[in-house]
Amino acid sequence: MQKRKIEDEIKYWNLLKNPIRLYGWFYPIVLVLLLFLGIKYVKNLDKISLNEVAYTNIDSADVKRNVELKKGGIAPAFNISLIMTPSPEMKIRGQELFTANCVSCHGDGGKGDGDAGANLNPKPRNFATLDGWTNSRDFSGMFKTLREGIAQNGMAAYEYLPVFDRVAIILHIQTLAEFPAVTEQNVTNLDMQYSLSKGIEIPNQIPVDVAVSKIVSENKIVTDKAELFYSGNNFSQDENLLLNEFVSDKKKAFVNIQRSAINTTNITTFLESLKFNPSDFGLSNRILIVGSKQQEELLTLFRKIKNI
């Protein structure tokens, strides 16, 4: 009798030749795969909904222009007749200042096509266009723009430049396109508004990074002082009861009192400074519905904190 060789029920190598034998596993495999992908999708739903595409445009209103450290004083009087009849020196100075301060955004020809303005939003001013001027296209409007800037459009203020330099820049810009003619009455009105011929008081100025560091330092002093005070044993039992009932965040409340964000002049101004959202000051909303006696007690307590 011939012995038969014992073999596996399925010869797995034969599956490559006849994969249809695995067809029965197709549905459970697909089901498990779909279940896995569904769970992964749900877990990452919050991330999927976020816009992760990098924003390339620069908001020009958020561009910070640094300034040099400069002591203020009285600027010399300006000869307003130079606006009508600029000297050769003024013309040369205007071109130099335009190249140094304006070309990067507005371009050599004042078309708003400078390299630095490519990603700004809104785009820099094209001096040839007639519409969309915030302060008008006449001389006084352009002087106002250079003096005050236009924050929402990303236009920096150049009030730190002498009047001579600002006028020189405007006169050069007016050679790049057609602008309204300057009359003697325009010059007189400009002088009356800004006292150009009498000299201008120039305030002190410090670089932005220095100003920021000073503000941070001053805020830290106030914060540390408030934290030291409220963490110590500086209140009576009744005062602690008031604090626990009406102050939700002692550190925030003490800092706001120190910075005069909470007005403690009298009961009217005190309540006026709190009426919108007391929680912004670290206080409980219950402070708005307390009786007059407790209001006076809180005012006295806050004055004590302010005078630490």
Q: What is the pLDDT of residues 163-192, one digit of tens each?
A: 999 999 999 999 999 999 999 999 999 999
Say which residues have a Cβ less than 8 Å from residue 71's Cβ, sequence separation at least 6: 204
Identify the band that residue 94 occupies on the pLDDT scale cut at 50, 70 and 90.
very high
Provide the pLDDT for residue 120: 82
Mean of the per-residue pLDDT values of the chain: 81
**pLDDT, tens digit, 9 for 90 and up, residues 9-67:** 656 666 667 766 666 677 788 888 999 998 888 887 766 666 555 555 555 555 556 66
- Among 266, 244, 240, 262, CA closest to 253: 262
Q: Please give the residue that has the higher pLDDT: either 54 or 248.
A: 248
Identify the band that residue 194 occupies on the pLDDT scale cut at 50, 70 and 90.
confident
Mean per-residue pLDDT for 296-300? 84
Whole-structure pTM value: 0.48
Cα Rg, the chain, nearest whole Å: 36
**Residue tagged 């209140």 (tokens):** 235
Yes or no: say if 110 and 127 are a contact pair by the CB < 8 Å rule: yes
Per-residue b or e along 36-56, where b marks 16 or more CB atoms closer than 10 Å to that residue's CB: eeeeeeeeeeeeeeeeeeeee
Amino acid at 225: K
Fold of 62-202: Cytochrome Bc1 Complex; Chain D, domain 2 (1.10.760)
Per-residue b or e along 13-29, where b marks 16 or more CB atoms closer than 10 Å to that residue's CB: eeeeeeeeeeeeeeeee
Where are the CATH 1.10.760.10 domain residues in the chain?
Answer: 62-202
Q: Please give the residue that has the higher pLDDT: either 220 or 232.
A: 220
Q: Omega before 162 cis (within 30°)?
A: no
Mean per-residue pLDDT for 121-140? 90
**Residue tagged 């400069």 (tokens):** 70
283 forms bridges with which residues in the sheet? 247
155 forms bridges with which residues in the sheet? 150
Q: Is 109 a residue whose pLDDT tops 90?
A: yes
Mean per-residue pLDDT for 88-107? 93
Per-residue b or e along 154-173, where b marks 16 or more CB atoms closer than 10 Å to that residue's CB: bbbebbebebbbbbbbbbbb
Q: Is 306 a residue whose pLDDT tops 80?
A: no
Yes or no: say if 299 and 263 are a contact pair by the CB < 8 Å rule: no
59 forms bridges with which residues in the sheet? 121
Provide the pLDDT for residue 301: 84
CA-to-CA distance for 234 and 223, rounded, in angstroms? 17
Rounded to 10 deg, the angle between the 163-173 and 139-148 helix axes is 130
Provide the pLDDT for residue 278: 83
CA-to-CA distance for 260 and 305, rounded, in angstroms? 11
Provide the pLDDT for residue 304: 82
Q: Is 102 a residue whose pLDDT tops 80?
A: yes
Joined together, the tokens standing for residue 33 give 């795969």
Q: Please give the residue that has the higher pLDDT: either 179 or 269.
A: 179
Provide the pLDDT for residue 1: 55
Q: Quote the strand ranges of 58-189, DSSP E.
A: 58-59, 73-75, 120-121
Q: Quote the strand ranges of the chain, DSSP E.
A: 58-59, 73-75, 120-121, 200-202
